[in-house]
Amino acid sequence: MRNPDVKIVGVVGDPISHSLSPRLHSYWLKKYNILGDYVPFHITKNELPNFINSLKGDNITGINLTVPHKESAMKLVDEADASAKKIGAVNTIYFDNKNRIIGSNTDGHGFLKNLRNSAEGWRADNCPTVIIGAGGAARAAIVSLLDVGVPEIKLINRTQERAVCLLQEIDDNRIRVIPWGGREDALSGVKLLVNATTLGMVSQPALELSLDKLPKDATVYDIIYNPIETKLIKQARERGNKTVDGLGMLLHQAAVGFKAWFGVDPEVDDGIRNHLLEVLR
Ligand code: NAP
């Protein structure tokens, strides 16, 4: 059973060596003088069911899940909370007082909190949006934006059928799927553009997108955080748009888990941001 004096939390993924989460949580553990550790676990898809099952008997306080486990974990937890059900994925596991495994999802919260903190004066009700991407991160962004009242989302993905499936699952008439070829025209009149693809990430090609039709008062949010300045962010900044990078999303989604496991609401400040920037490109 869990030893409340020494709390061990881990992040599970395949691959896992690139994960910033151990560095992030270790910083907060030290800052708040908490006796505990946060460790990476390299777990393959095949190993995940046994791994999650074994948690009940382990001295482990909680788990983060990353690629490729977020969706499959939905079926492996005892209960998925409302955030996980809405997003259809689990990125945070904790235990309730009956030792049941609860799956939660903090990506939507992280996405929105970062947007609100970084784009001063941002208002959902006045914010037609373009989202590029239809994977797990796009889904977290869409669900959280709809929840706070965004009037329209144009959803664009290279594989259009995936966007259509996402639309059918979320089933909200504020979403419209636009073909990949129409992505530049779709920018006209929007107030928020979100890149939720892997394009722009280190070792991936950039997102090639002319911003000519994007209004100058629109905010451009790239959820990629490595590198911290993607080509998209640079383009947007140079033409005078407000920009939001993905590091704040990572920090704010992590803060919710940290509070659930360790009982402290960690500050998302320049200290932790700079600590992570030291190892980013
Ligand atoms: P995912 O489920 O694998 O989805 C990947 C998305 O990228 C899909 O929409 C895919 O389109 C698109 N894509 C990949 N290669 C492409 C290409 N060459 N051209 C056009 N589109 C391409 O991944 P995810 O979990 O949503 O994550 C997406 C990104 O968000 C990752 O880089 C991840 O690190 C980042 N992320 C950041 C945070 C944060 O805290 N900042 C949190 C979660 C995720 P198709 O459907 O056509 O393949």
* Predicted confidence pLDDT, tens digits, the chain (281 residues): 566 688 999 999 999 998 999 999 999 999 999 999 999 999 999 999 999 999 988 889 999 999 999 999 999 999 999 999 999 999 999 999 999 999 999 999 999 999 999 998 899 999 999 999 999 999 999 999 999 999 999 999 999 999 999 999 999 999 999 999 999 999 999 999 999 999 999 999 999 999 999 999 999 999 999 999 999 999 999 999 999 999 999 999 999 999 999 999 999 999 999 999 999 97
115 is a domain residue: yes
Q: Judge if 113 and 227 occupy the same domain.
A: yes
What SS3 state is found at 132? strand
Range of the domain at 30: 7-105+248-277
Q: Residue 22: what pLDDT?
A: 98
Count the domains in the chain. Answer: 2
Q: Judge if 151 and 240 occupy the same domain.
A: yes
- Specify the residue with its C-alpha closest to ligand 1, atom 48: 159
Q: Judge if 83 and 200 occupy the same domain.
A: no
Residue 254: CB within 6 Å of ligand 1? no
2 is a domain residue: no
Provide the CATH number for the domain around residue 112: 3.40.50.720
Please work out, in degrees rounded to the nearest 5, the angle formed at the alpha carbon of residue 103 by the alpha carbons of 266 and 58. 85
- Specify the residue with its C-alpha closest to ligand 1, atom 7: 197
1 is a domain residue: no
Q: Judge if 181 and 214 occupy the same domain.
A: yes
Strand partners, 104: 92
Q: Judge if 114 and 233 occupy the same domain.
A: yes
Question: How far, in Å, from the CA of 135 to the mean position of ligand 1?
Answer: 6
Closest atom of ligand 1 to CA, residue 135 = 2
Residue 195: CB within 6 Å of ligand 1? no
31 is a domain residue: yes
Q: Judge if 132 and 16 occupy the same domain.
A: no
Q: Judge if 11 and 112 occupy the same domain.
A: no
Question: How far is residue 45 CA from its own chain's centroid?
Answer: 20
Q: Judge if 237 and 120 occupy the same domain.
A: yes
Provide the CATH number for the domain around residue 62: 3.40.50.10860
Q: Judge if 23 and 53 occupy the same domain.
A: yes
Q: Judge if 198 and 213 occupy the same domain.
A: yes
Q: How far is CA 31 from CA 110, 197, 271, in A?
A: 21, 33, 10
Based on the residue annotation, tell me whether 70 is a catalytic residue of this protein: yes
Q: Judge if 117 and 240 occupy the same domain.
A: yes
16 vs 190: CA distance, rounded Å: 36
169 is a domain residue: yes
Dihedral of CA 228/211/146/81: which sign? negative
93 is a domain residue: yes
Q: Judge if 233 and 258 occupy the same domain.
A: no
